[in-house]
Structure 1
Amino acid sequence: MTDTILIINGPNLDMLGTRQPEVYGHDTLDDVEALCRRTAEDEGVEIDFRQSDSEAEIMKWIKEARGTRAGILINPAGFTSTSIAILDSLLIFEGPIIEVHISPLFRRDEFRHLSYVSKAATAKIEGFGIRGYEFAVRKLAELARG
């Protein structure tokens, strides 16, 4: 096991900063990655930062993380309330999993309130903008250190 945290960003998060800024803010995915890298450096861990619009690719990354990553931070985005397949992949990961959402799902459309990912998550952070990623990286680093 390494001190590397896998950070997975789901569909359309590559459009942060331009897609619905009234909901997601003006920060870009590059800003999120920079924040995660600074936080990881402060905490003495590495990150493996990824984004995909493909459910299959996300599932593959989760499976590859078994035994090789200290934890997973996942923002499943549009797969939050639709992907039992991602849930099943997360359930076979042995380490901590933190689910992060930039916007508060409980204040959004009713169909967004359900999160399959939450059923596998150690914790869930939502509604704090990209700062939720910072908090999640700190907590995963703490858990990795024991």
Structure 2
Amino acid sequence: MVALRPLVKPKIIKKRTKKFIWHQSDRYVKIKHNWWKRRGIDNRVRRRFKGQILMPSIGYRSNKKTKHMLPSGFRKFLVHNVKELEVLLMCNKSYCAEIAHNVSSKNRKAIVERELLYPDLLKDKPECHEEG
């Protein structure tokens, strides 16, 4: 059977892959790494001095056409049951399924069996552990 390919697969350009970190978070343990805009009057990051930590700005935004797109060209769709997988069959050229983490093994097996009729619909093939 032929593998499914996305309808369109534009080149995905990531303008920045590194995380934006908080100013001086590497110096102190009490300061978390997640980004927080500095608002001090003398702050060198806010004033954009050369060699300082970069601030997030609108220029780092992803292209709307490739935002949330996987390298395969598909977008993820979270599936909790077989019924949601049926909905995905109508737009299987642009979305692929990902089984939610809180789905039971019984429902997981049912989703995988349903997916066997349409290969390449699931993003990751799970290994269903048999109990015996």
Normalising by structure 1, we get a TM-score of 0.30
Higher Rg:
2
| Structure with more strand by fraction | 1
